[in-house]
Amino acid sequence: MTFEDQRSRKVLLVAHCVLNQNAKIDRCAYYPGVMREVAEFLVASGVGLLQMPCPELVCLGLDRGAEAGARTTVAGEDTRVARRMNEEGNRALCRELADGLVRQCEDYRKNGFELLGVLGINGSPTCGVESAWAEDHETTGPGTFIDILAEICRRKGIDLPMRGIQALEPEEAVAAVKKLVGDRAV
């Protein structure tokens, strides 16, 4: 199909919490809503945003299944979440979520749209790209969901460059987004 309207025909997949910090685990939201600097750049760029689901929210709920009244550290909670997200049932649900995204990507490609890539959240147990969280420390490599998404994309021949950002580094985050969007913005 040919689209003859104002759409850019450029799409970027974006981690859920970039556009909705309310989905983060307790003590990890650094903005009231969206990651402002990144969102402002993305809106100005004219690219379409495909908000990925939050696998942790879908699998574990907003409280991530935390024990009521338990005093925990962010590192301890991230480790607990990482372990839970690697359980067989949660990995299967991540695969279902990733399959749904890949189907959307295939449809965009079939209709002549340009897929610019994936914007993840480094340090996340699930949506980290260059780094994730496991066993009480940040590790090199992707989180559970991004790893599954990348594997499905490779298998289907979909090239999706991936970059991770961190909310506490807004200037570096915008620079990473610029690398994904580049001069392809509208």
Alpha-carbon distances of 16 from 5, 21, 111, 112, rounded to whole Å: 27, 8, 25, 25
Whether residue 94 contacts residue 59, with contact meaning beta carbons closer than 8 Å, is answered with yes
- Convert the pLDDT of each residue in 29-59 to its tens digit: 899 999 999 999 999 999 999 999 999 999 9
Does the CA dihedral 32-134-82-140 come out positive or negative? positive
* Residue 183: band (very low, low, confident or very high) from pLDDT cuts 50, 70, 90: low
pLDDT tens per residue, range 83-118 = 999 999 999 999 999 999 999 999 999 999 999 999
Residue 186's pLDDT band (cuts 50, 70, 90): low
pLDDT band at 180 (very low <50, low <70, confident <90, very high): very high
Mean pLDDT in the chain?
92
User: Which pLDDT belongs to residue 185?
Assistant: 55
Tokens (6 digits) for 62: 């907003």
Q: What is the pLDDT of residue 104?
A: 97
Spatial separation of the C-alpha atoms in residues 110 and 104, rounded to whole Å: 10
